[in-house]
Structure 1
Amino acid sequence: MAYATLEKLFYADSSSDRYKKHELLLKQRLESESTFRTGIHLDTGELFLAVPRELSLMNEQVLRRERKVSALWRSLPTTALGAYIRTLIMDEVVCSNEIEGVHSTRRDIELALEEAQRESAFGGSPGRHAPFFEFAKLYLGLIDNPQPPRTLQDIRSSYDAIVVDALDEKDKLGNSLFRTGQVVVETGTGKVVHVGVSPEAKIEEMLTQWLELSRSEAIPETYSALLCHFLFGYIHPFYDGNGRTGRYLLALHLSKPLSQPTVLSLSRTIAEHKSVYYRAFDTAERKLNSAEGTHFVMTMLGLVSEAQEQLIAELDEKRHLLDELEERIAHCRLDLSERSLDVLFYAAQMELFDAFHETRMADVAAWLSVSRPTARKSFDELISANLIVRVSKRPPVFRLSDTGRNILRL
């Protein structure tokens, strides 16, 4: 029998003492030796995580898939990895925005990422930042395994970076760390689905408990990360931007036990299963479920599994195409110099792994450790052979031509 919610078992019981049975079952789950109790009290009781058989199996499957994701990831060449991680970051930011109804495009995030990388390389960026610069910079920073928030100010700083380009004047906080007024989340028909914690002192108290839970060594990292994700949504510390901030903090926490590609694929999966995602929050908040977080964690692990499966399928296919590609270039008998064949292979990798299938001359010159004029000779040779086409003059950007894709069977 599947592990049922307390609410479902309550309504399945038509006996006159079902309230007493509900209390006994809650006590049994709460006091089980395998249960993780947080000591954090919601309106419906103490937030806790029971560990039924299904949850143990799901967690084991996630960790097992991680080994496959990591193996496929390590098998890719550096050029392909760099392009693919940028594509994943773009999609993660776009999808996280999309879930909250904030419009952004891959091109927006690409410009933001380029600016963030320039700032990192040269120690500053003049003028006004590109839209979503700070948000993209946070996700780009996940590559360096940053530390999760340790103070309330750290949480606020992450929030400021995330919403800087997408916040109405009425939702700005002023000098307070968190919201000082009440917030009510309603459906389009006016049904109340969530009331945020208040007042601000209570928000700060619960976020302090959130910080303690996030770094607790008394609970597995995956479980604490997912419970923290629910708790952040429950507290709802800001007027707007809670969802985007919560998903970034989730990515930050999950980047410890899980791989970067899995973490950077999660918002896309959530966007594809948005109703399942929001229902998980609602289920955990229902009065008769008495603050049990088990089904929320199981739902989120299911979404992690879905993200992994999609990722494995994509990486498997791309790895196979990459193997074939090397063989085709080696045997296609093109009358090209060795360096031009290398550039062609680089452009083919961009065709497979880059969000826009584009090859930049500056990147190729750095990859080959040659000057741009030297790299330009190879590009000119490939253009003459009708294998690539120029898509931008300044900066010089190229992509495979239809002929090039046909020859390489891409």
Structure 2
Amino acid sequence: MELKPLSILNYMSSTDDSINVQKEYESRLNGYSSFKTGLFPMLTDKNKKQYDDYPIFFIETKDMVRLNADIRKKSSQIKKLSYSLPGISQESYTNSLLTNEIQFSNEIEGVKTERKEIGTVVDDLQTNNKTNQKRLVSTVKKYIDILNEPEIRINDFQKLRDIYDKLTDGEIEEGKLPDGEYFRDKPVRIGTDLETVHRPPINEKAIKDKLLSLIDFMNNESIPPIEKALVTHFMFENTHPFMDGNGRMGRYLLSQYLSKKIDPYTALSISSSIHSNQSKYYKIFKDADLYENRAELTFFIQKMMEIILEGQNSVLDKLNESLDMLKKYFVKLKEILKIDDTENNMEFNLLFVFIESKLFNIDSSLGVKDTALINMLYKTNTKMYKKIKVKETIQKYEDSGILVQINKSPLQHEINLDKLFGDI
């Protein structure tokens, strides 16, 4: 028989006496392929009453094994493609993913931020660690840490609070900051004005009880890593330890962990994929919160794996498409400039950097800035890329319409591919 959520079996049992939900639950919980945890989430029954007497468990189903294999396979493909990217392409696409991940994670929570605003901070911090921006700086720094720092180890409440403070610095209203020692000490409700979907633990003492078990679980190396990350994501959101910013914190922890266990590009595509599947995302949380499902996360994990895979497919589509175009433009640009030796041709290399930036940036405003480009080329070869000569060449191609000025401060140009190549 097809594996179904216990809540559906419970409904079916009202008309089918052969279905014994309690027996099925015990069989699943104690099965050879089951993973039983010491985590007890807050679950809500059909009468809106709440209980926390069932431990989270999941079954390592055939579908889950297949999804795990698919995620690993896609990750290998992503890593292979990313390693083949030229320097500016890799930098451009990584910064675009960082920008997207932060923007979509905020939007899922109803926090509106402009991609250009985030991208400016990402670019500033990635180049010289200085920025004139005030908003989002701390958030961007934490996401850059995903790329640059080793896997974080969370061993106590203070570490969780430190991550939260750095991630949300300047982004949380004064009245919604934690009012307990580490977490909130006030009850909250999750839902709309008309409906309460979930009530997490009511105070900091209850929150600490839940998170103490979660920290032990997070450091349990016997749990398969993707499944562990997704169970952690569910339990953190179910506990809702802060007044505001829980979703952003939960998705950050998920990205940070998967960046080390899978790959950074997969990790930085999660919020984008969740944003595209927002209704599905909320529904699987709501279903997992049902008391009738008795804290089984088999279906939650499987559907979250599908969301991760969708994000990976988006990354692969973008990389493959952009790399194919890059190869075509490489050949075509040689023909246009009538050259064979590209390595020692200043105009070719200058234009090709603009092409890479155009292809691998999700938004044109995130592209390479003139000063950064000029300095980068000059460091590569001080004789070939004299700064005054590079500036003159940029002006030459601006005059011809091939380079278009899109920003004055800082000065930035973008290449007009149609003008340069026409229809290829």
TM (normalized to structure 1)? 0.91
Give the partner amino acid of 1:166.
Answer: E
- Structure 1 window deviating more from structure 2 (44-53 vs 386-395): it is 386-395
* Aligned-pair Cα RMSD in Å: 2.3
Give the partner amino acid of 1:223.
Answer: E
- Provide the secondary structure at the position in 2 that maps to 1:154: helix
Q: Quick one: which of 178, 200, 208 aligns to 2:183?
A: 178
What is the deviation of 1:308?
A: 1.2
Question: Which residue number in structure 1 is paired with residue 397 of structure 2?
Answer: 382
Partner Cα separation in structure 2 for residue 365 and residue 182 of structure 1: 55
Q: Quick one: which of 46, 53, 72 aligns to 1:63?
A: 72
Q: Summarize the Cα distance change of 1:18–1:191 in structure 2 as closer, same or farther, 3 Å threshold.
A: farther
Question: Which residue number in structure 1 is paired with residue 119 of structure 2?
Answer: 110
Indicate conservation of the 8 Å contact 2:5/2:293, yes or no: yes
Partner Cα separation in structure 2 for residue 55 and residue 392 of structure 1: 48
Question: Which residue number in structure 1 is paired with residue 309 of structure 2?
Answer: 305
Give the partner amino acid of 2:21.
Answer: H
Q: Summarize the Cα distance change of 1:172–1:387 in structure 2 as closer, same or farther, 3 Å threshold.
A: same
- Provide the secondary structure at the position in 2 that maps to 1:252: helix
Question: Which residue number in structure 1 is paired with residue 159 of structure 2?
Answer: 154
Partner Cα separation in structure 2 for residue 88 and residue 16 of structure 1: 50
Question: Which residue number in structure 2 is paired with residue 14 of structure 1?
Answer: 14
What is the deviation of 1:216?
A: 1.3
Question: Which residue number in structure 1 is paired with residue 48 of structure 2?
Answer: none
Indicate conservation of the 8 Å contact 1:226/1:297, yes or no: yes
Partner Cα separation in structure 2 for residue 408 and residue 356 of structure 1: 22
What is the deviation of 1:274?
A: 0.6
What is the deviation of 1:44?
A: 4.6
What is the deviation of 1:76?
A: 1.3
What is the deviation of 1:15?
A: 5.3
What is the deviation of 1:171?
A: 0.8
Indicate conservation of the 8 Å contact 1:51/1:294, yes or no: yes
Question: Which residue number in structure 1 is paired with residue 220 of structure 2?
Answer: 216
Q: Summarize the Cα distance change of 1:2–1:137 in structure 2 as closer, same or farther, 3 Å threshold.
A: farther
What is the deviation of 1:119?
A: 6.2
What is the deviation of 1:365?
A: 2.4
Q: Summarize the Cα distance change of 1:175–1:288 in structure 2 as closer, same or farther, 3 Å threshold.
A: closer
TM (normalized to structure 2)? 0.88
Partner Cα separation in structure 1 for residue 273 and residue 127 of structure 2: 30
Indicate conservation of the 8 Å contact 2:151/2:260, yes or no: no
- Provide the secondary structure at the position in 2 that maps to 1:398: strand
Partner Cα separation in structure 1 for residue 53 and residue 85 of structure 2: 48
Q: Summarize the Cα distance change of 1:139–1:80 in structure 2 as closer, same or farther, 3 Å threshold.
A: same
What is the deviation of 1:360?
A: 1.7
Indicate conservation of the 8 Å contact 1:390/1:397, yes or no: yes
- Structure 1 window deviating more from structure 2 (222-231 vs 55-64): it is 55-64
1:62-93 CA-partner distances (Å, limit 9, x unpaired): 11111112222122111101000000111110
What is the deviation of 1:201?
A: 1.6
Question: Which residue number in structure 2 is paired with residue 144 of structure 1?
Answer: 148
What is the deviation of 1:164?
A: 2.6
Q: Quick one: which of 311, 322, 346 aligns to 2:353?
A: 346
Q: How many residues matched?
A: 402
Partner Cα separation in structure 2 for residue 405 and residue 178 of structure 1: 56
Q: Quick one: which of 243, 250, 254 aligns to 2:254?
A: 250
- Provide the secondary structure at the position in 2 that maps to 1:255: helix
Give the partner amino acid of 2:158.
Answer: Q
- Percent pairwise identity: 25
Please list every run of 5 or more consecutive structure 1 residues that lacks an aligned counterpart in the other structure. Answer: none
Partner Cα separation in structure 1 for residue 23 and residue 315 of structure 2: 43
What is the deviation of 1:157?
A: 1.8
Question: Which residue number in structure 2 is paired with residue 30 of structure 1?
Answer: 29
1:40-80 CA-partner distances (Å, limit 9, x unpaired): 22315001111121111111111111111222212211110
Question: Which residue number in structure 2 is paired with residue 356 of structure 1?
Answer: 363
Question: Which residue number in structure 2 is paired with residue 287 of structure 1?
Answer: 291
What is the deviation of 1:183?
A: 0.8
What is the deviation of 1:307?
A: 0.8
Partner Cα separation in structure 1 for residue 78 and residue 133 of structure 2: 34
Partner Cα separation in structure 1 for residue 88 and residue 368 of structure 2: 11
Q: Summarize the Cα distance change of 1:264–1:2 in structure 2 as closer, same or farther, 3 Å threshold.
A: farther
